[in-house]
Structure 1
Amino acid sequence: MAQSLAGKIAVITGAASGIGLATTEKLLEDGATVVMVDWNEKALTELTAKLGEKAIPQVTNLLDPESCAAMVPEILKKVDHIDILYCNAGIYIGGDLTETTPEAIDRMLTLNVNAVMKNVHAVIPHMSERKTGDIIVTCSIAGHFPTYWEPVYAGSKWAINCFVQTMRRQMIPYGVRVAQVSPGPVISALLADWPEENLRKAKESGSLIEASEVADAVEYMLTRNRNVTIRDMLVLPTNFDRV
């Protein structure tokens, strides 16, 4: 039986676009309040004005250590508790390892791995004290398969896959569910870094999914009875045959 999200308070990173925005819209439809976390203040201002009073802006640059550390304390000044933390923000690097730079690698690992761990670290005392909560992280099919055409991105998602599944076990005694959703290629700004030929073929073959379809998966995970954890949900385009 599905559990209602009405009255829940969710925090979503990378909420101004893509999967984050689609999930924000989905949870708002379900009656939740959503704290939209993003670095893009202008986009957040416009979106929260359009989405209504249950959409709360939180300007945070997860690549900046001080801004990242301040995120949860600042949010808890705006809302009295956090029921759901959805760590969704991320960036993509495709191509051979030699085609990228050390600076780009650092940036990706900071956002895709370090910021996720820091955000979870920051919210755990709050959720543990309340003996309830949900933490979901956007992983990727690349976290389950050695995708040789994107080793830096895949490496970051393999790290997150391990982190989520170890934290899931740690948090069981505290009533906090920890899980991940692992999409295949999603139509979003991240695909701007795909090799043009790969993107063209994927579009032509129908090997992409919409961000709203990932949001549907997240909604399903969050609405299960508390005695059920969907530890990972792989959401793939039907025609995606690379793995």
Structure 2
Amino acid sequence: MSDLHGKVAVVTGAASGIGLASTEALLTAGAQVILVDRDEAAVASACSKLGGNAIPLVLDLLDAKACASMIPRILETVGKIDILHANAGIYVGGELVDAETTAIDRMLNLNVNVVMKNVHDVLPHMIERKSGDIIVTSSLAAHFPTPWEPVYASSKWAINCFVQTVRRQVFKHGIRVGSVSPGPVVSSLLADWPEEKLKEAKEAGSLIDPTEVADVALFMLTRKRGVTIRDVIIMPTNFDL
């Protein structure tokens, strides 16, 4: 296992939930972290608590121009990117017939298109340096058809395919690509869950803490360079009850 001192990491959706937990884990491991989020107040609050190695970058990834500016702005600021944790995402659950089509567009754009664009934009830099790590926050929903969230699950199935195919393209450049696929995590993404389902999950111990997901991401990043963890599914022990 290697530490991350001297590494520069970028985490999207970094102001809360898995993104914030990942940021904290990376900082503890010695990395400098760029926190990318659209919530200016939350990013500023996080960085004020996390110290000088936490650098805020406030932008809305759903804005195409802002999204395209992310990697160039980071490289201009810190000079290199060793790690990209593409974590930003949103959730649409429930019956498909009840979903708003604008919400579907927004979710697919952030969960799929933005991830692809962020990875696309960072690859030339990593290929030139012949090194890099890319981790994508996927979901347990990427691995089986989840009947209560067809829109969200479909976005994660797409991302699972993207991760596994891009990984095969870029490993020859010294770049590792993998995903972490958590079951239900205590985060803002669960705000759209039906109240009775959320209550049932909490009472059954079927939710995990974001720090558990961050620990998995850190495990993936700290393997020797000849080892790639391509995907880790992490879920509450009681989830299958």
Q: Does the alignment reach a TM-score above 0.5?
A: yes
**What pairs with 1:43-82 in structure 2 (closer than 5 Å)?**
43-82=42-81
Pair 1:83 & 2:82 matched: yes
Deviations 1:45-91 (A, max 9, x none): 12112111100001120111011000000111111100000000000
CA distance in 2, matches of 1:47, 1:237: 27
Q: Which residue of 1 aligns with 2:30?
A: 31
Partner SS for 1:35: strand
**What pairs with 1:51-200 in structure 2 (closer than 5 Å)?**
51-200=50-199
Q: CA RMSD for the aligned pairs?
A: 0.7
CA distance in 2, matches of 1:100, 1:222: 37
CA distance in 2, matches of 1:44, 1:187: 19
Deviations 1:21-46 (A, max 9, x none): 00101111111100000001111112
Shift in Å at residue 8 of structure 1? 0.7
Q: Which residue of 1 aligns with 2:12?
A: 13
Alignment: residue pair count: 241
Shift in Å at residue 115 of structure 1? 0.2
CA distance in 2, matches of 1:45, 1:215: 21
Shift in Å at residue 148 of structure 1? 1.0
CA distance in 1, matches of 2:17, 2:6: 24
CA distance in 1, matches of 2:45, 2:201: 32
CA distance in 2, matches of 1:30, 1:202: 32
Shift in Å at residue 101 of structure 1? 1.0
Partner SS for 2:36: strand
Shift in Å at residue 99 of structure 1? 0.9
CA distance in 1, matches of 2:87, 2:156: 12
Partner SS for 2:207: coil
Deviations 1:133-185 (A, max 9, x none): 00000000000000011000000000000000000000011000000000000
CA distance in 2, matches of 1:237, 1:78: 39
Q: Which runs of 5+ in 2 are unaligned?
A: none
**Moved segments of 4+, more than 4 Å:** none
TM-score by length of 1: 0.98
CA distance in 2, matches of 1:43, 1:101: 27
Deviations 1:201-236 (A, max 9, x none): 100000000000000000000000000000000011
Q: Which residue of 2 aligns with 1:3?
A: 2
Report sequence identity in percent: 64
Partner SS for 2:200: helix
Amino acid at match of 1:107: R
Q: Which residue of 2 aligns with 1:239?
A: 238
Partner SS for 1:181: strand
Partner SS for 1:89: coil
Q: Which residue of 1 aligns with 2:213?
A: 214
Partner SS for 1:90: coil
Partner SS for 1:110: helix
TM-score by length of 2: 0.99
CA distance in 2, matches of 1:9, 1:134: 11
